């Protein structure tokens, strides 16, 4: 049985199993799976506009997926990417509306503001995990609610910039990310996300800090005995995870909405868990995984319109991917609700 679970946890096997079960669900409701997949493919890739929109979805999922993947590599389970995304987006919107600098200065500063907002939100959970042994699963879930409700209060009150809607004031024109394709929503967010993915891949494999993070994730107790400060690594990993999720929110503000409102994310932070798992928690793998889920999300409406299959089936695929990939964790005796080996060296 453990061997079967490990095979089920292979990314490609998990994806094939998820699609197969989804096809059976379609058949149970008298829908043609091949027709549905063809419609989904047409919506995601059948036109320049469709492909551009798929890449728009990919950009946000890539940032958030990288964040969750970094936490996984440290042996942590970050459920809070959605809240960290919201925190980063809000910080970016405030900075973008307040600053009036040349684009070469304002865009990087706004991105830094978004990364900082997400890092603080992720770092809180990391500190609680390292210092008190609090499960990051529980704390990140709770911090999601704080982020959602807190940002809703702020854009409905102190930070409200529009009398007709609960949202911030628009960012300045110099903070807007430039488009990559005319008459589409695709912006420079995509190459920025790809650059981060390749940089993280190098950092994990070549840097001392990346090695320490992987060591803590593989064998936390052994890493501590080898002299690695496990508490510091945990806090840093969660802060970096939150920073990447915050960048997802930042690029949504700078590239698409040009302000913050409560409906900014359609659930990128939650989908990013499936993205990271399917990508094997490897930054390069996450690129392909984000593209796959971007296509799923973008093609879902076409699947519903042309094949009569509810777009919510995409959520079923995401859930099944998480289920099958989680089998690998449990088959190795790992659990998402584990305590640290020690907290004596916490920061």
Is the pTM for the entire model greater than 0.85? yes
In a domain, 108, yes or no: yes
Contacts of 311 (CB under 8 A, 6+ apart): 300, 301, 303, 304
Q: Tell me the C-alpha distance between 221 and 236, whole Å.
A: 17
pLDDT greater at residue 88 or residue 35: 88
In a domain, 186, yes or no: yes
* 125-149 confidence digits (pLDDT tens): 999 999 999 999 999 999 999 999 9
In a domain, 346, yes or no: no
| Residue-range definition of the domain harbouring residue 227 | 2-331
Q: Where does the pLDDT of residue 338 fall: very low under 50, low under 70, confident under 90, or very high at 90 and above?
A: very low
Q: What confidence score (pLDDT) does residue 4 get?
A: 42
pLDDT greater at residue 199 or residue 334: 199
In a domain, 185, yes or no: yes
* 11-25, 29-43, 231-245: the lowest-pLDDT one: 11-25
In a domain, 337, yes or no: no
Q: Where does the pLDDT of residue 205 fall: very low under 50, low under 70, confident under 90, or very high at 90 and above?
A: very high
Q: What confidence score (pLDDT) does residue 347 get?
A: 55
CATH code for the domain of 51: 1.10.3470
Q: Where does the pLDDT of residue 323 fall: very low under 50, low under 70, confident under 90, or very high at 90 and above?
A: confident
In a domain, 323, yes or no: yes
Contacts of 130 (CB under 8 A, 6+ apart): 230, 231, 232, 234, 235, 340, 343, 346, 347
C-alpha pair distances (Å), 325 with each of 9, 88, 196, 296: 4, 28, 24, 18
pLDDT at 324 over 80: no
Q: What confidence score (pLDDT) does residue 320 get?
A: 82
Mean pLDDT computed over 4-20: 66
* 147-193 confidence digits (pLDDT tens): 999 999 999 999 998 878 899 999 999 999 999 998 899 999 999 99
Q: What confidence score (pLDDT) does residue 5 get?
A: 40
Total number of domains in the chain: 1
pLDDT at 1 over 70: no
Q: What confidence score (pLDDT) does residue 329 get?
A: 57
pLDDT at 331 over 60: no
* 233-243 confidence digits (pLDDT tens): 999 999 999 99
In a domain, 341, yes or no: no
Q: What confidence score (pLDDT) does residue 7 get?
A: 41
* 283-322 confidence digits (pLDDT tens): 999 999 999 999 999 988 888 888 888 888 888 888 887 7
Average pLDDT over the chain, rounded to whole? 88
In a domain, 345, yes or no: no
Count Cβ atoms within 10 A of the Cβ of residue 32 and give its class: 0-12 exposed, 13-18 middle, 19 or more buried: middle
pLDDT greater at residue 30 or residue 165: 165
Rg of the Cα trace of the chain? 20
Q: Where does the pLDDT of residue 194 fall: very low under 50, low under 70, confident under 90, or very high at 90 and above?
A: very high
pLDDT at 8 over 90: no
Name the residue among 307, 298, 308 with its Cα closest to residue 48.
298
* Dihedral sign from CA coordinates of 77, 263, 95, 201: positive
């Amino acid at each position: 049985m453990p061997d079967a679970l490990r095979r089920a946890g292979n990314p490609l096997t998990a994806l094939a199993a998820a699609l197969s079960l989804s096809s059976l669900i379609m058949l149970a409701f008298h829908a043609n799976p091949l027709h549905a997949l063809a419609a989904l493919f047409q919506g995601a890739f059948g036109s320049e506009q469709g492909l551009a929109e798929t890449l728009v979805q990919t950009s946000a999922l890539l940032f958030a997926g990288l964040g969750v993947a970094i936490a996984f590599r440290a042996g942590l389970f970050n459920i809070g990417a959605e809240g960290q995304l919201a925190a980063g987006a809000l910080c970016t919107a405030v900075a973008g509306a307040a600053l009036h600098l040349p684009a070469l200065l304002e865009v990087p500063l706004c991105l830094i503001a978004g990364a900082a907002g997400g890092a603080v939100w992720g770092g809180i959970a990391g500190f609680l995990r390292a210092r008190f042994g609090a499960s990051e699963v529980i704390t990140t879930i709770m911090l999601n609610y704080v982020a959602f409700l807190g940002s809703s209060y702020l854009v409905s009150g102190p930070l409200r910039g529009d009398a007709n809607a609960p949202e911030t004031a628009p960012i300045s024109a110099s903070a807007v990310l430039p488009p990559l394709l005319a008459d589409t929503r695709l912006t420079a967010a995509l190459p920025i996300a790809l650059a981060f993915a390749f940089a993280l891949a190098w950092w994990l494999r070549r840097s001392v800090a990346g090695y320490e993070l992987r060591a803590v994730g593989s064998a936390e107790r052994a890493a501590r005995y080898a002299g690695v400060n496990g508490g510091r690594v945990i806090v840093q990993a969660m802060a970096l995870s939150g920073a990447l999720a915050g960048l997802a929110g930042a690029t949504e503000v700078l590239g698409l909405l040009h302000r913050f409102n409560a409906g900014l994310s359609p659930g990128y932070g939650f989908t990013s868990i499936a993205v990271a798992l399917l990508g094997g928690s490897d930054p390069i793998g996450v690129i392909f995984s984000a593209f796959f889920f971007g296509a799923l999300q973008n093609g879902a409406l076409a699947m519903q319109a042309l094949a009569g299959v509810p777009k919510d089936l995409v959520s079923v695929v995401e859930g099944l991917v998480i289920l099958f990939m989680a089998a690998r964790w449990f088959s190795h005796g790992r659990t998402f609700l584990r305590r640290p080996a020690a907290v004596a060296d916490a920061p």
